[in-house]
């Protein structure tokens, strides 16, 4: 391959050898069901007991659900997607300045999953960032496109009269132009998005705690000062989507994942009763999934479910995944009421630092990483 990443703007006419899965591991796209979908939960529902029940059912039976009326502003979401798109549309040389295959880096552009461990590569590039605490990590975020990190232009006639006139005029030109200009004037796009998503995550953790019959702050208390990571995933059109994956089947190692998926191009699938089911993008919704840590805290009652991203030949696809993670020294352990049903604790206690290290030392599509922590 010429470059380390696949978002080079070049269309490949055939799939490079290193991406081809053996016959038995291929996605068999025609067998994926899109008749079924994961539950869609309206967080605006004012009947809290009903909401808690819906969340509990979804966590127990699917491990995945979508949420609407989630409190994250439409504008924050649209801007985030615009910036993500602009990032991957930059010239490949610019993007490669951020390239690293070292999972320990807190900001990097990379490709596939873990290029140093895996045998077959995946048709994905991704930008990975740490997002909490923001003041610690924002300085290392990409400085291109400029609005990724900051745009400190404030549109006020007093601060810069000539700029104000010039920008005001440009805002009146055409709807497309107006959108562009307005977006480049919005401050702290990614930062705001991260904060809003974090709030949503905490609300969900309260609902999930209650659905397990625990105090609403239980999960928050166990996980300590939570970290937050973001993966901006980019899946270019793939010449032979039947032979490879964007991401092969995996579970997420963190506590809770909040995924913003492309509204127009599907690709996310979850394993339900042994069959792969497509998660159809729903307007203004986030896809939520339980990660390995909540499976452990719930003593196996809620499942960190296998999921994967497939690719397609026509359209690039993007997603923005936000991961809430326990603090490194949080001891992951189920509460007493969940171990008193005769089985005891399924997993031994561990710290998140220990778990995370184990996760990245493996290939993505091996056995469930939690299996390695069973009692």
CA 140 → CA 98, 130, 248, 270, distances in Å? 10, 9, 29, 33
**CA 263/CA 81 separation, integer angstroms:** 10
Q: How many Cβ atoms sit within 10 Å of the Cβ of residue 48? A: 10
Closest CB to ligand OGA among residues 221, 363: 363
Q: How many Cβ atoms sit within 10 Å of the Cβ of residue 234? A: 25
Evaluate whether 106 touches 325 at the Cβ level (below 8 Å). no
Select the binding partner of residue 267 from Ni ion, ligand OGA, none (C-beta < 5 to 8 A, by kind): ligand OGA
Positions touching ligand OGA (CB under 6 A) are 231, 233, 247, 252, 259, 261, 267-268, 307, 309, 319, 321
- Using CB under 5 A as the binding rule, whether residue 252 contacts Ni ion is answered as yes
Closest CB to Ni ion among residues 5, 321: 321
Select the binding partner of residue 27 from Ni ion, ligand OGA, none (C-beta < 5 to 8 A, by kind): none
- Provide the greatest CA pair distance for the chain: 74
List strand residue ranges (DSSP E) for 89-146, in order.
Answer: 107-111, 125-130
Q: Which of residues 156-195 bind Ni ion (CB under 5 A)?
A: none
CB of 269 to ligand OGA, least distance (A): 9
Select the binding partner of residue 196 from Ni ion, ligand OGA, none (C-beta < 5 to 8 A, by kind): none
Q: Work out whether strand 247-250 and strand 227-235 pair parallel, antiparallel, or are unpaired.
A: unpaired
Closest CB to Ni ion among residues 252, 365: 252
CB of 187 to Ni ion, least distance (A): 30
**CA 51/CA 59 separation, integer angstroms:** 12
CB of 245 to ligand OGA, least distance (A): 10
State the binding string over 256-285 for Ni ion (x if CB under 5 A, else -).
------------------------------
Residue ranges binding Ni ion (CB under 5 A):
252
């Amino acid at each position: 391959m010429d470059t380390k990443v696949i978002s080079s703007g070049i269309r490949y006419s055939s799939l490079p050898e290193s991406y081809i899965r053996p016959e038995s591991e291929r996605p068999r796209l025609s067998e994926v069901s899109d008749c079924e979908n994961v539950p869609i939960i309206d967080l605006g529902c004012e009947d809290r007991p009903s909401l808690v029940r819906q969340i509990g059912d979804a966590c127990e039976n699917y491990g995945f659900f979508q949420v609407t009326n989630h409190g994250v502003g439409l504008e924050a979401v649209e801007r985030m997607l615009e910036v993500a798109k602009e990032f991957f549309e930059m010239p490949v040389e610019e993007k490669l300045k951020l390239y690293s295959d070292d999972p320990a880096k807190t900001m990097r552009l990379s490709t596939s999953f873990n290029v140093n461990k895996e045998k077959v590569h995946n048709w994905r590039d991704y930008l990975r960032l740490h997002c909490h605490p923001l003041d610690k990590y924002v300085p290392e975020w990409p400085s291109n496109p400029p609005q990724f990190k900051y745009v400190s232009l404030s549109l006020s006639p007093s601060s810069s009269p000539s700029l104000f006139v010039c920008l005001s005029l440009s805002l009146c030109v055409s709807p497309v132009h107006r959108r562009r200009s307005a977006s480049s004037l919005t401050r702290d796009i990614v930062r705001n998005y991260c904060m809003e998503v974090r709030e949503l995550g905490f609300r969900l953790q309260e609902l999930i705690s209650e659905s397990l019959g625990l105090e609403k702050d239980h999960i928050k208390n166990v996980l300590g000062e939570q970290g937050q990571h973001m993966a901006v995933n980019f899946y270019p059109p793939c010449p032979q989507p039947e032979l490879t994956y964007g991401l092969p089947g995996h579970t997420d190692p963190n506590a809770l994942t909040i995924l913003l998926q492309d509204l127009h191009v599907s690709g996310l699938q979850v394993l339900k009763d042994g069959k792969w089911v497509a998660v159809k993008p729903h307007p203004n919704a986030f896809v939520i999934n339980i990660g390995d840590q909540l499976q452990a805290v719930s003593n196996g009652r809620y499942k960190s479910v296998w999921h994967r991203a497939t690719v397609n030949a026509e359209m690039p696809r993007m997603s923005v995944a936000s991961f809430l993670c326990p603090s490194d020294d949080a001891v992951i352990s189920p509460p007493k009421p969940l171990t008193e049903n005769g089985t005891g604790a399924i997993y031994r206690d561990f710290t998140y630092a220990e778990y995370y290290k184990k996760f990245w030392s493996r290939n993505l599509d091996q056995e469930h990483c939690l299996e390695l922590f069973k009692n």
